[in-house]
Structure 1
Amino acid sequence: MAAVPRTSHFCGNLPTNQTFTADDINSKWTFVRNVSNQCYANYLYLWPHIVAPVAMLLALLYMKSWGRVDRSPNYGKLFQLTFPLQSLRCVIMLSLALVQMGNFGEGIVTDMEFQSLLPTQPQLYVPVLMAMLSTLMSMYFYQKLEVWNKPSGLGLLLLYWIWSAFAETIRFISLRKNDDFSFDVMRVCLCCTLATIYIILIVIECYVYIFQSRFGRNNLLKDLPEDLIGDNCRYVDDYATFYSNQLLYWLKPLFQLGKQRALELSDLGSIPARYKSKELYGQMEYEIQKQQEMSRKQGIESASTALYPVLMNIYGWRIALVIVMRIMVSFSFVVSASILKQLIKYVTNIRADGGQMMTHDVTVGEFFQNGFILAGLLGIVGFGLANVFNTSLQMLVQIAIPARSALQAVVYQKAMRLSTSSLLDTDMNKGKISNLISVDPNQVLTALIWFPVIFGTPSIVSFFPCWVKKKNCLNTIDTCKIKSLTEITVRNPPCPITILSNILTDDDDDDDDDDDDVGDYDDDDNDEDDDDIGDDRDDDEDDDNIDDDDDDDDDDDDDDDDDDDDDDDDDDDDDDDDDDDDDDDDDDDDDDDDDDDDDDDDDDDDDDDDDDDDDDDDDDDDDDDDDDDDCNVHCSLFILSYFYRLFSTPLLY
């Protein structure tokens, strides 16, 4: 039976065994008999992503036109009451959108490159394109549900997640029955990832929907938080949505007002209750008393309360989160550089004649070697890097400033409880109290802001070079011969960007013998260049030794250059008498140095080391050069200590 024309075009006009007919669509047990047909599975995969956006659009029109929208005067402007697990849901939905974009890119790459000999197959990219658009529509639909306070619309999202997960299951079963099934295939990996994300969204939706049905969401407008009652509170970061927090959209009214006129203090409004000194003091005092109680239980009666355990109990998990974010930011620079390297490699290796095309599904390695995919991935990584960095900085400020205010309040309250005689006894007490209130809290603020930086850049600089070159740091640190760490000054530390750029731009297969980069980490392909560098260094050392030996051996060194040449001719009987070139003089002086090695035993340690270097053979020079290259990698350990000393200064307070 001939295939339906639309179905045949959807499948790409492939042979009849790859398409499905109208009788197959309407027949009984079609799913059981045609589940191995990828075109039919993609046909079923298309339907939920067509029906769901239409249903969401109709629901929004109904709620906007005929439905009752509950919103306060400032609702949707400065703040909005979010549903439970709103931030987690937004992160999962953003991840879903990114994976759907990758799914669409996989379909395009497969159809245009790895199956270009076949007719175009809309089944590879049309269903995933609709899935990507449907995901964006669901994100907009959820945003409107929060703004209009309509939790009943979450049921539509729940049905969509269930239907999409079922479609992904059908798609995976179809891929599983294929002869070329492998988890190295990009489509299989994307299918498993999407199914997992849909299951997580189903769990979140069920929790929120059950929470709404049991406790009731519509009463929240009657029980607004104290901060949101009235229009005085303008700092609504805690009550804004995830997207508004990340983009700082909740500051838009303040920016618009500042554009019209100069801002005044009253325009900023009041701060939330949790940032007020009373709340901060109560929280800090509770933790201090808790530490004192623990000390008494341990039998330490007169021990002073440690400050950092108190701060860690209050802000510890947030500081740990910021540390993880800073490490992610540090490693993302390396990821961006690696993507850029692969992108340059793709551009320089484009096949002029098209090459021999293979008809198969794109694998994971082939997918991430495509230049267009790499360009899109580079933009996503850059945007994510900026977002994570700004979020971590904002969290640090929100940690450090309340900690400073809490310490000032605690010290002030304690100072007020001191007796008047102790304060008037000496001016030293007044100075200490002033420092404790003004200077020391600022040092704590600086320490909390810079503390996560200690774990960022030093970690990537210290461990990434060893990981790239597949070297065991624990074994090679002992063999690394660093002559003197004092040569690496704090003012001129090794540049981490230079080290990483030399590693990332290093190509082990295409290195030439004339590559003179000192910072190159390839030890095998640059031996000749290292020998040349070593010879030049030995020549310079020979010149220095010549001057030193001439001062020790010649007592009448006041003659001109002609007399020096005559002395050299007398000492060397095997050389020519009329050789006036500088290079021949160096050779003659080298012979004098070899004859006078036994006479210079009383020289200083530097001369002995230089003479020993002159007697080394070429193999020893090569070993020294290899050790120097290893030292270039492990000198990054010194950078770690440098950053630690730099940023640990505020911690001493």
Structure 2
Amino acid sequence: MAGGMPLSFCGNNKVPSAYSVDNGVLNNGCFVDALNLVPHVFLLFITFPILFIGWGSQSSKVQIHHNTWLHFPGHNMRWILTFLLLFVHVCEFAEGIVSNTIMSTNHLHLFMPAFMGFIAATTSVVYYHNIETSNFPKLLLVLFIYWVLAFITKSIKLWKFAEFGIRFKYLRFCITALLVILYGLLMAVEINVIRVRVCHQISSYFGKTSVIPPSIWRSMYKAFGRPILLSSTFRYLADLLGFAGPLCIYGIVRNLEVENNVTSANKNMENYFGVYFMHTTELLENSSVLAVLLFLALVLQRTFLQASYYVTIETGINLRGALLAMIYNKILRLSTSNMSMGEMTLGEINNLVAIETNQLMWFLFLCPNLWAMPVQVRDLCLYKKQL
């Protein structure tokens, strides 16, 4: 950023057109960006008193009880979407900073909403964690309102981009579209929490009215199907992020080797709403941006990989415990002679049961490697190609 330039939210304070709304408020890109600040300010204004006063007071009704900690519906999906939201906000902030350096005046509205959005998303994680540990889901209404407001304001921004002919070849349009999708999914997660809570209360009040025929496969799927699918998803995301390492390193080395003599004044300035719009591939030509993306990709990769291991190990232990309880219950109902025709003792049968269930547990530990192997082989080939 050039030194000596005055800080201004909409650019040059001496140019009245920067703050002009003669063509409509929503046709002024600066005011649209200012509108996107409203949800973030709302969340910070509402949650800070609750976080620092509500949970800090010993006399408050909202107390943290870790011994009764229950995960709300969509807990894992919420954390995945939040991490992705933080990553996209970092990309939005980087795009705004780089675009601002190209222009002759400072435009704070290019990166300030992204910075506030990152802080708001981090605050939402802390706020949700405290609500979940205290088992007080009524306060999730604040997050639901925040997701709705953020979804609406980002949708307005995306709509104005499309109206002015700004499409996917511009990075800002792609980032805004991703934010609209993420805010919409987080809003759906909150709706799912409300739906499950309401349905649970209704079913508890009226009781169950239908009897479903028992099925061991349906029971196994309900008990362990979703954790296995979740673990596989985490593993695939971690392996796919493995491509980011060699690609970012290749881009950094290429950018350092190629001498760039093109100044910002000689660049083909494409302006909409009075500001510069960067092409989708232009941000990846900046070595500093690639270094930040490499760091974030590695953090996300390790996070998803650790989450995959945790879910897989937990599921395997639960499966082994369930099988042991079921088989031992069956053993206690039958005599040794009926089970082995007198050829095995009860202790030998117990050892056999323990070994088989332990093998099933280890199968769940290692089975994600089966469908993750093609991606890992591709990662290895890409690393060798870069070397």
- Output the TM-score relative to the length of structure 1: 0.48
CA distance 1:401–1:154, change in 2 (3 Å): closer
Deviation at 1:103, TM superposition (A): 1.3
CA distance 1:416–1:60, change in 2 (3 Å): closer
Q: Verify: 1:344 aligned to 2:329, yes or no.
A: no
CA contact (8 A) 1:36 1:177 kept: no
Q: Verify: 1:383 aligned to 2:299, yes or no.
A: yes
CA distance 1:15–1:396, change in 2 (3 Å): same
User: Which residue in 2 is equivalent to 1:417?
Assistant: 334
Pairing of 1:487-636 with structure 2 (within 5 A): 497=380, 499-505=381-387
Q: Distance in 2 between the 1:125 and 1:447 partners?
A: 48
CA distance 1:80–1:37, change in 2 (3 Å): same
SS in 1 for 2:285: coil
Pairing of 1:43-54 with structure 2 (within 5 A): 43-54=34-45
Query: Match for 2:384: what amino acid?
Result: N
- Among residues 292, 317, 323, which one is paired with 1:401 in the alignment? 317
Query: Match for 1:129: what amino acid?
Result: F
Deviations 1:613-653 (A, max 9, x none): xxxxxxxxxxxxxxxxxxxxxxxxxxxxxxxxxxxxxxxxx
Q: Verify: 1:326 aligned to 2:315, yes or no.
A: no
Percent of pairs identical after alignment?
20
CA contact (8 A) 1:111 1:120 kept: yes
Query: Match for 2:48: what amino acid?
Result: L
User: Which residue in 1 is equivalent to 2:3?
Assistant: none
- Among residues 57, 62, 66, which one is paired with 2:48 in the alignment? 57
CA contact (8 A) 1:325 1:389 kept: yes
User: Which residue in 1 is equivalent to 2:154?
Assistant: 168
CA contact (8 A) 2:66 2:134 kept: no
CA distance 1:195–1:460, change in 2 (3 Å): same
Deviation at 1:99, TM superposition (A): 1.8
Deviation at 1:86, TM superposition (A): 3.4
Unaligned runs of 5+ in 1: 1-6, 25-29, 217-285, 292-308, 465-495, 506-653
SS in 2 for 1:364: coil
SS in 2 for 1:387: helix
CA contact (8 A) 2:54 2:62 kept: no
Deviation at 1:20, TM superposition (A): 1.8
User: Which residue in 2 is equivalent to 1:590?
Assistant: none
Q: Distance in 2 between the 1:184 and 1:421 partners?
A: 73
CA distance 1:79–1:383, change in 2 (3 Å): farther
Deviation at 1:185, TM superposition (A): 0.9
CA distance 1:43–1:445, change in 2 (3 Å): closer
Q: Distance in 1 between the 2:24 and 2:154 partners?
A: 18
Q: Distance in 2 between the 1:311 and 1:211 partners?
A: 21
Q: Distance in 1 between the 2:341 and 2:139 partners?
A: 69
Q: Distance in 1 between the 2:111 and 2:253 partners?
A: 27
CA distance 1:443–1:160, change in 2 (3 Å): closer
Q: Verify: 1:185 aligned to 2:102, yes or no.
A: no
Q: Distance in 1 between the 2:88 and 2:372 partners?
A: 28
Q: Distance in 2 between the 1:174 and 1:423 partners?
A: 75
Q: Distance in 1 between the 2:98 and 2:333 partners?
A: 72
CA distance 1:215–1:127, change in 2 (3 Å): same
User: Which residue in 2 is equivalent to 1:89?
Assistant: 78
Deviation at 1:342, TM superposition (A): 1.6
CA contact (8 A) 1:18 1:39 kept: no
CA contact (8 A) 1:327 1:457 kept: no
User: Which residue in 2 is equivalent to 1:110?
Assistant: 99
CA distance 1:160–1:397, change in 2 (3 Å): closer
CA contact (8 A) 1:330 1:457 kept: no
Q: Distance in 2 between the 1:208 and 1:376 partners?
A: 35
Deviation at 1:159, TM superposition (A): 3.0
CA distance 1:177–1:420, change in 2 (3 Å): closer
User: Which residue in 2 is equivalent to 1:99?
Assistant: 88
Q: Distance in 1 between the 2:135 and 2:325 partners?
A: 40
Q: Distance in 2 between the 1:215 and 1:129 partners?
A: 39
CA contact (8 A) 1:36 1:178 kept: no
Deviation at 1:377, TM superposition (A): 1.9
Q: Distance in 1 between the 2:248 and 2:226 partners?
A: 32
User: Which residue in 2 is equivalent to 1:120?
Assistant: 106
CA distance 1:18–1:444, change in 2 (3 Å): same
Larger Rg: 1 or 2?
1
CA contact (8 A) 2:235 2:368 kept: yes
CA distance 1:13–1:365, change in 2 (3 Å): same
Q: Verify: 1:33 aligned to 2:19, yes or no.
A: no
Query: Match for 1:40: what amino acid?
Result: F
Deviations 1:393-421 (A, max 9, x none): 22332233344445555655448724549
Deviations 1:152-198 (A, max 9, x none): 4333333333332332233224323436x122111111222222332
CA contact (8 A) 1:8 1:19 kept: no
SS in 1 for 2:69: coil
CA contact (8 A) 1:326 1:455 kept: no
- Output the TM-score relative to the length of structure 2: 0.76
Q: Distance in 2 between the 1:389 and 1:440 partners?
A: 27
CA contact (8 A) 1:319 1:396 kept: yes
User: Which residue in 1 is equivalent to 2:9?
Assistant: 10
Q: Distance in 1 between the 2:128 and 2:269 partners?
A: 41
Q: Distance in 2 between the 1:62 and 1:35 partners?
A: 38
CA distance 1:18–1:349, change in 2 (3 Å): farther
Query: Match for 2:172: what amino acid?
Result: R
